[in-house]
Every structure is written in structure tokens, then in C-alpha cells.
Chain A
Amino acid sequence: MDNLEKYINAFVEAFEADKNSVASFKREDTEQWDSIGHMKLMAALEDKFEIEFEPEEMIEFVSYEQGISILKNKGINL
């Protein structure tokens, strides 16, 4: 499984969403992306990429797009 697929799957698992819909996800307007969804997403990504987020990274992680650049800063290219 490539990195992009892993990334998308984390969203699918955390929000029980369709894999074709997640690319437009933003925390502010995605209903499932509440505190519970956010924790699930963070845990899923840490698990899949074997990384650990800093607190700052977790609170800045507010959209699908934003997440890609946060992962990039951690050396994971999608």
C-alpha cells in the first residue's frame, strides 16, 4: 500500500467516510470531524505511518490538505 492510500484509509476509518469524498474534508465543516473523530484520525495516522505527532501538529491538523504538509514536514511524502 502506498503512502497516499494509507493516508486516505486513515480518514475512511476515522470518519466512516467514502474514500472518494475525503480529499475535500475540513475540520470546520465536516460533521464527523469532531473531537472524537479527530482523536481517531490522529491515532490511525500514528499507527499507519509509525510516527508520533507533536501536540502542535495535532491542533494544526485541520484539513486533509493541511495534513499532507504536516506529514511532509515529518519526512513522509504522499
Chain B
Amino acid sequence: MYLQVDRWSDNIAVIDDSGEKYKYGDIVDFSKCFGKWIPERRLIFILCKNCFATIAAHIACIDNHIVPLMISANMDVELLKGLIDLYKPMYIWCPDESKDKLDSVLCNSEDVAGQYGYLLIKLKNDNCDMYEDLAMLLTTSGTTGSPKLIRHSYFNLYSNAENVANVFGFSEQDRALVDLKLHYTMGLNVACSNLYCGATIILTEHNPSEKEWWNIFREYKPTNMCGVPYSYEILKQMRFFRKDHEELKIIAQGGGKLSDELFGIVAEYAVKYGKRFFATFGTSETTARLAYLNPDKALEKIGSIGKAIPCGEMLLVDEFGNYITDAEAEGELVYRGPNVTLGYAHKREDLAKKDERNGEYFTGDIARRDAEGYYYVQGRKGRFLKVYGYRVGLDECETILKNRYESDFACTGTDERLAIYHTNDVEDIEIRKFMSEKTGIQISAFYSERIDFIPRNENGKINYGELLKRKME
């Protein structure tokens, strides 16, 4: 079985916000059931929440060779409809409470089964031709409903779960707190790498600014947890690092760069209380993680993403695409390993595509390598931001705005704030509200300004460099 979950039938696999405890055996039974409901090689959308029904369906899909697209159950309904129309799934697995929302965009569908507060809906779509090794799809920019999906193979999923589990040394005794979302590559990886070891995962929809999160933390006493930079900002504000949390042994970080200050605070906390702090790095295109910093080096190498995970290799290339052999160097970060995904899909027919990367991925991140071979991410070449831990495609944002207001927009900015420049008469506050509603990201993350004209290069492309020089005030 996937992750060999049938090894630990009597261990508790999942605890979620319902307070229920689910055993590994429940996953095994559910998978058998799921396999009877849905034939092999069908496309299904899983509308994810951090609950048992989502992770059980994920495992059941992989186990039964059904191909899931993992997306947020909170996705804006029009963006969701766009994805349904484009990829035409045969099934949707959704929370009971999403049924009404879905009914407004689905025609010709029937409910075929239900369990654990979720419903299986069958749509009148034909089956589509999918590459035999295609195991799972994730979005590149979930909040904007981008049609650009990441194609994962079975080998990607197995190997990253296994290699990451080995890095952290998880065991049956572990309890992992998973508040990162399961449709998000890092959240899914934390869940699966723990399940691979027979540990218990505590799934929650809450975050450390909420009372419920603290109740869960106190009641279940997690032994490991993983956060994105923004989680650490909240933990710091909540004075988490002022005292020991005795049962907690591993704290991990991924999904963007911690400020050096915060990195130092967490690293010092770990040393003081005998915990292991792992700074990690990865992308959705590499099935979550590709590098980690050995906890022993955290204080010495502040801000570093460390070295490649087991079975992987990191390289740097210069602007001409040549590999840089000097020990100390700066260039685009390239990764080779078993967790490099197959490639992207932009439309339904692309699901038949084979492996387009052959185990090598150009990350688009600019990195520096020090004399001892430790890597530091310096910046990014790509057109996306990580705002509050959400990966947001800037081109997709422009498309959403252009469709809504039928005029020209340019989006750029930093991981702190996404900047929207426009030339129309719409109030800036309205534009910001609209984007906040569409993406579900707080309004303060968006900056909007009317400018006389959108600067362009000679070839007509938007000159984002020019816009980045402007101050957001």
C-alpha cells in the first residue's frame, strides 16, 4: 500500500478538529472502499480541508491509481468552475457543506457515495487519457485558481516522503502537528512523511493565533511541527519561544525565507531547550523539499537552506546555462533528484504528457554557495510571490484583474506586499478588496496605485523593473 500504511493497523494515524482518532486500519479500509467506488485512472478533484476525509482520500487515490487534483475547499467558486470546465474531472470529493456551492456550478452530476463528512460526486465527463505514471496534481498558485498544474509521478511521492522522513528521523512514537494545508505541497509532505513512519498526524484548520490551536497543542503535545515564515511570525508574537514545550523535539521551516532575525530566534530557542531546528527548502515542482540545513549548523549558518536531501544533488548554473564548478559561487539553483516532478499541465490533454524534466529542475531561484558547500537563497527569477506563505502567480493576478475591469494591469511587488498598477478610474481600495476576496488573502497584502501609463520595453513587454523602483505608499 502507499506509504505502507498497512504496517501499523492499530496505531493512531490521524486526529482532526472533530476530536476523532482514526487508526491506520481505518485508512486501509477506506482505501478498499474508495477503490470500489471509482475505477482506476480516473481524474478526481479533492476539495481539501485539514481533516481525515482529505488525507484518507489522498492515500486511497494513490493506492488505487486514481489521479487527484488537490485544491482548497475554500477556493472561490468561479475559479473552481474554471478548473472544472478546463480539466473536466469525472469525480469530485468534497465536504458536505460545499455541496450547495458546487451545485451552483455543476450541471448533470449525481452523488454516488459519502463518508467522514465528505461526499463523492460523479460528473458526466468522459475519461481522459493520462500518462500511466501520473499520480497526483497540485496547483502552482492555488489562491488565483491558476490552470497551471504540477504533474507528480508515483516515484516522486514515495521518494520524497521516504527521504524527508529519513532526514527528520520520524518514528512510530511521533505526533506531528499539521496546520499547513494539505493541498499545499509542504503540508502534504509533512503529513505523508510522518504517516510513512507510523506516526500520528494532528490535522487542524486552526493557526497559532487562535485559542483552538493552543488547546490542540496542549492536549496532544506534538513532537514535531513545521511552519512557513508567517507561522513563525505568529509564534513569535504569541511568545511561543519564551518557554520550553517539553514534548516538542523537532521544529521545521519551509515555504519561503525566514528573516535572519527570526531564523536566529528559532535557532537559539532550539539550542537552549535541546530541540532540533530544521530550515528546509523546496518547491512544488520538487515534491515539497529538496534541501535542509543540519540542525547542528543552524546557529553557524543563519539563513542557509543547507545541502541537498538524501538521493538529491544541488548545482548552480550561470546566466548562459553553464554549470559553475567553483566552490564559492552564485547562480541559478538547479536540483537533481527522484522528487523532481514530471512537468506542468496547462490543459486536459497535457495529462497524457510524459516526463519532461528527467530528474532535473531549474528552480528560478538565485542562490549562493559558500566555501563549505552550504546554499543560501538570494532572490527569485520567476513571476510569483510568496505572500504570507501563499504562492501567488503574478501573471494570474493580472489576468483576474483584466477580466474583471477590462483594462490594463501590471502586478509585481515583494513577499511582503503584492503591488497592482493600473490606469483606470476604479478606486484603489475597491481593487484591493476584489483581489482579497478572490484570493482569500488579507487586504493589507495588496497595494494598488493608479499610474499615468504602464511602462513597457521596446518589445512591448511590461517593464517590471521600473515598477519595482516605485515606493508603495
Contact = CB atoms under 8 A, between A and B. Distances in A.
A40 interface: yes
A32 B432 CA distance: 12
A34 B237 CA distance: 15
Interface of B: 207-211, 214, 230, 233-234, 237-240, 388, 442-445
Nearest to A60: B211
Greatest chain B CB density within 10 A among A37, A39, A42, A62 is at A39
Contact of A34 (B211, B214, B442): B442
Interface in A10-61: 16, 32, 34-40, 42-43, 54-55, 58-60
A38 B210 CA distance: 9
Given A55-B214, A58-B237, A58-B238, A38 B443 contact: no
A28 to B, nearest CB: 10
Given A55-B239, A58-B237, A59-B214, A39 B444 contact: no
A32 B239 contact: no
Nearest to A27: B210
B211 A59 contact: yes
Q: Contact residue range for chain A? A: 10 to 19
17 contacts: A16-B443, A16-B444, A32-B442, A35-B207, A35-B208, A35-B210, A36-B442, A37-B442, A37-B444, A38-B209, A39-B233, A40-B444, A43-B237, A55-B214, A55-B239, A58-B237, A58-B238
Given A58-B237, A58-B238, A35 B209 contact: yes
Nearest to B238: A55
Contacts of B211: 59-60, 62
A37 B443 CA distance: 9
A74 to B, nearest CB: 15
Given A39-B234, A55-B238, A55-B239, A32 B210 contact: no
Closest 10 CB pairs of A and B: A35-B209, A59-B211, A36-B442, A38-B209, A35-B207, A39-B237, A55-B238, A55-B239, A59-B214, A39-B234
B173 to A, nearest CB: 27
B442 A58 contact: no
Interface of A: 16, 32, 34-40, 42-43, 54-55, 58-60, 62
Contacts of B208: 35
Nearest to B239: A55
A34 B220 CA distance: 24
Chain A residues touching B, majority SS:
helix
A36 B389 CA distance: 11
A63 to B, nearest CB: 13
Contacts of A54: 239
Interface centre among A34, A35, A37, by most B CB within 10 Å? A35
Nearest to B206: A35
A56 B211 CA distance: 8
A50 B208 CA distance: 23
Contacts of A35: 207-210, 234
Contacts of B234: 35, 39
Given A35-B209, A37-B442, A54-B239, 19 more contacts: A16-B444, A32-B443, A34-B442, A35-B207, A35-B208, A35-B234, A36-B388, A37-B444, A39-B209, A39-B234, A39-B237, A40-B444, A43-B237, A55-B239, A55-B240, A58-B238, A59-B214, A59-B238, A62-B211
A54 B234 CA distance: 14
B205 to A, nearest CB: 11
B50 to A, nearest CB: 14
Nearest to A58: B238
Contacts of B444: 16, 36-37, 40
A51 B239 CA distance: 14
Contacts of B214: 55, 59
A62 B212 CA distance: 12
Contacts of A58: 209, 237-238
Contacts of B207: 35
B210 A59 contact: yes
Nearest to A42: B237
Contacts of A59: 209-211, 214, 238
Contacts of A60: 211
A43 B207 CA distance: 17
Contacts of A39: 209, 233-234, 237
